[in-house]
């Protein structure tokens, strides 16, 4: 088991680029494979999660070339996939498993999805349930709640579905099934989750109707190949934003970051806490808004976080906990029960780790209360096999007195290859 130790930084400085957006990278492979013609993808995230999706499509007969800079997908159209001869392994990736479940439900063949021990413990009924209503035949452990999932693809019918959770994975799984369904598929969600699937389908020429509270599509649309430039992942940039905010004298420029409004909850939250973050050079790239982010050290203050901003910052809560741990006052997070079913229970994991760093976190069923400690103590933290917990605690270590060691850091490779080198590069000692 690999571990990594960081020391307190004097300051954080640099002009950096973080790897490509994970959500958009997954979708570029999926929709590129289902489009007719050749799609060239630049900025693709070569992390384990997105590579699991890439390998799954290769296993279903799609030629995908990688020359080290550009990924070239030779799409075969909506009905071009073939039956994989083995189980498809999604590794740690919930996006691969849930979106593929929706897609595979509409194919004319049989397939099985599995993943690592963390993914096999995560809830799948949220997609299996509505897909079954569309006519899908899916079996899984624990009555279809847990992977491995066995999918006998077949005829689907569009439904109207109100999701109890704001989840882009649920929405996208149903949209992918909806591409194959007879009639119209409508999905309502409590608050708008990330809309990368909607944007990419439009980029590939499909008509997708987005309206207040939901999205609608009609089956049988043809997708036409279109090149994609993947922006840097705001969820990866978030670690460096918080690093610069909590270490005195810091200034960082993070280039080419995706600033899709369904993902910028982290900017809204940090700015409300008093963060000095400026968006520069705002532009659009393959249907997605992009900007450079300039972040300067700021004295942060506690806020209340709930409601519609939660799904727009869902992956950033571990590092928001770190910001809150150094803010003045008590930060309260509500409406975030989803954090308990991520790669690990992120509320429990951060409470446990930050307690070791001398910070009081009170857990609630759907959130937490974090009282800023003024300063952090160096500690021995655990990743719980979760990339974002590992990276958050290493960022915390930059502002801690003494060394901070994080155990089991291999998981960082799922979303952010090169993180440890980049963190070392920007931390001035």
Backbone angles phi, psi at 279, to 5 degrees: -90, 125
- CA distances to 46, 253, 289, 291 from 21, in Å: 10, 17, 12, 13
State the nearest-atom distance from the C-beta of 301 to ligand S3P, in Å: 27
Part in contact with ligand S3P (CB under 6 A); list of ranges 79-87, 108-116, 163-171, 253-261 = 163-171
Judged by beta carbon, residue 92 or residue 331, the one nearer ligand S3P is: 92
Judged by beta carbon, residue 94 or residue 372, the one nearer ligand S3P is: 94
The pair of three-digit structure tokens given for residue 176, joined into one six-digit string: 């992918």
168 part of the interface to ligand S3P, by CB under 6 A:
yes
Binding mask 243-282 for ligand S3P (x = CB under 6 A): ----------------------------------------
Judged by beta carbon, residue 127 or residue 361, the one nearer ligand S3P is: 127
315, 335, 386, 408: the active-site residue: 315
Q: Which is nearest to 414 in space by CA: 322, 341, 327, 315?
A: 315
Part in contact with ligand S3P (CB under 6 A); list of ranges 100-108, 128-136, 167-175, 417-425 = 167-175
Q: Which is nearest to 364 in space by CA: 345, 389, 387?
A: 345
**Strands 288-296 and 367-371, how do they pair?**
unpaired
Binding mask 41-80 for ligand S3P (x = CB under 6 A): ----------------------------------------
Active site residue 315: yes
Of 178-207, binders to ligand S3P (CB under 6 A) are 193-194
Binding mask 321-350 for ligand S3P (x = CB under 6 A): -----------------x------------
Sole binder of ligand S3P in the list 48, 288, 315, 382 (CB under 6 A): 315
State the nearest-atom distance from the C-beta of 196 to ligand S3P, in Å: 7
Give the angle subtended at the CA of 390 by the CAs of 387 and 391, to the nearest 5°: 85
Residue 271, annotated as binding a ligand: no
147 part of the interface to ligand S3P, by CB under 6 A:
no
Judged by beta carbon, residue 34 or residue 314, the one nearer ligand S3P is: 314
Judged by beta carbon, residue 194 or residue 294, the one nearer ligand S3P is: 194
Q: Which is nearest to 44 in space by CA: 70, 17, 18?
A: 70
DSSP 3-state assignment of 399?
coil
**Side by side, which strands form the sheet with 288-296?**
276-285, 288-296, 251-258, 11-16, 427-428
Residue 27, annotated as binding a ligand: yes
Residue 22, annotated as binding a ligand: yes
The answer to whether 70 and 40 are in contact (CB under 8 A) is yes
Judged by beta carbon, residue 45 or residue 254, the one nearer ligand S3P is: 45
Residue 122, annotated as binding a ligand: yes
The pair of three-digit structure tokens given for residue 310, joined into one six-digit string: 């939660």
Sole binder of ligand S3P in the list 96, 167, 264, 392 (CB under 6 A): 167
Give the angle subtended at the CA of 395 by the CAs of 418 and 353, to the nearest 5°: 120
The answer to whether 177 and 170 are in contact (CB under 8 A) is no
CB environment 394-421: b (16+ within 10 A), e (fewer): bbbbbbbeeebbbebbebbbbbbbebbe
Sole binder of ligand S3P in the list 6, 175, 314, 349 (CB under 6 A): 314
Site of tokens 């993902």 = 263
Question: What is the distance between the alpha carbons of residues 38 and 72, in angstroms, rounded to a whole number?
Answer: 7
Q: Which is nearest to 258 in space by CA: 323, 195, 346?
A: 195
- Within 10 angstroms of residue 362's Cβ, the number of other Cβ atoms is 12
State the nearest-atom distance from the C-beta of 281 to ligand S3P, in Å: 25
Residue 163, annotated as binding a ligand: no
Q: What is the CA radius of gyration of the chain?
A: 21
172 part of the interface to ligand S3P, by CB under 6 A:
yes
Judged by beta carbon, residue 23 or residue 298, the one nearer ligand S3P is: 23
The residues carrying an active-site annotation are 315
Binding residues: 22-23, 27, 94, 122, 167, 169, 315, 342, 346, 388
Binding residues for 3-phosphoshikimate: 22-23, 27, 167, 169, 315, 342
Binding residues for phosphoenolpyruvate: 22, 94, 122, 169, 346, 388
Interface residues with ligand S3P (CB under 6 A)?
23, 26, 95, 167-169, 172, 193-194, 314-315, 338
């Amino acid at each position: 088991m690999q571990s990594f130790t960081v020391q307190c930084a004097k300051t954080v400085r640099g002009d950096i680029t973080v790897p490509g957006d994970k959500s958009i990278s997954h979708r570029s492979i999926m929709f590129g494979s289902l489009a007719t013609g050749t799609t060239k993808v630049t900025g693709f995230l070569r992390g384990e999660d997105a590579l699991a999706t890439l390998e799954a499509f290769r296993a279903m007969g799609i030629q995908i070339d990688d020359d080290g800079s550009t990924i070239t997908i030779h799409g075969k159209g909506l009905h071009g996939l073939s039956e994989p001869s083995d189980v498809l392994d999604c590794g740690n990736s919930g996006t691969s498993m849930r979106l593929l479940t929706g897609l595979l439900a509409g194919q004319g063949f049989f397939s099985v999805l599995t993943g690592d021990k963390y993914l096999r413990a995560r809830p799948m009924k949220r997609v299996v349930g509505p897909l079954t209503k569309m006519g899908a035949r899916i079996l899984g452990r624990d009555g279809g709640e847990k992977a491995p999932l066995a999918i006998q693809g077949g005829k689907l019918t569009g439904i109207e579905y109100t999701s109890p959770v704001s989840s882009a994975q649920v929405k996208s799984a149903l949209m992918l099934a909806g591409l194959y369904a007879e009639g119209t598929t409508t999905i309502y969600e409590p608050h708008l989750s990330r809309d990368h699937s909607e944007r990419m389908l439009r980029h590939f020429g499909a008509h997708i109707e987005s309206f207040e509270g939901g999205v609608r599509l009609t089956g049988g649309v043809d997708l036409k190949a279109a090149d994609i430039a993947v922006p840097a992942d705001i969820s990866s940039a978030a670690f460096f934003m918080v690093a610069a905010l909590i270490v005195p004298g810091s200034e960082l420029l993070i280039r080419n970051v995706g600033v899709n409004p369904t993902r910028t909850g982290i900017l809204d939250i940090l700015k409300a806490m008093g963060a000095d973050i400026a968006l520069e050079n705002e532009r659009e790239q393959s249907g997605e808004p992009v900007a450079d982010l300039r972040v300067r050290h700021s004295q942060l203050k506690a806020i209340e976080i709930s409601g519609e901003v939660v799904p727009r910052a869902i992956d950033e809560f571990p590092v928001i906990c770190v910001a809150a741990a150094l803010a003045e006052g008590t930060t309260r997070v509500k409406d975030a029960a989803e954090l308990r079913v991520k790669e690990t229970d992120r509320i429990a994991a951060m409470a446990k780790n930050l307690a070791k760093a001398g910070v009081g976190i009170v857990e609630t069923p759907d959130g937490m209360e974090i009282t800023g400690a003024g300063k952090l103590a160096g500690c021995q933290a655990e990743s719980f096999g979760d990339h974002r917990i590992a990276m958050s605690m290493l960022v915390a270590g930059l502002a801690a007195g003494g060394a901070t060691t994080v155990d089991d850091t291999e998981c960082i490779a799922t979303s952010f290859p090169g993180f440890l080198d980049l963190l070392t590069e920007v931390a001035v000692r």
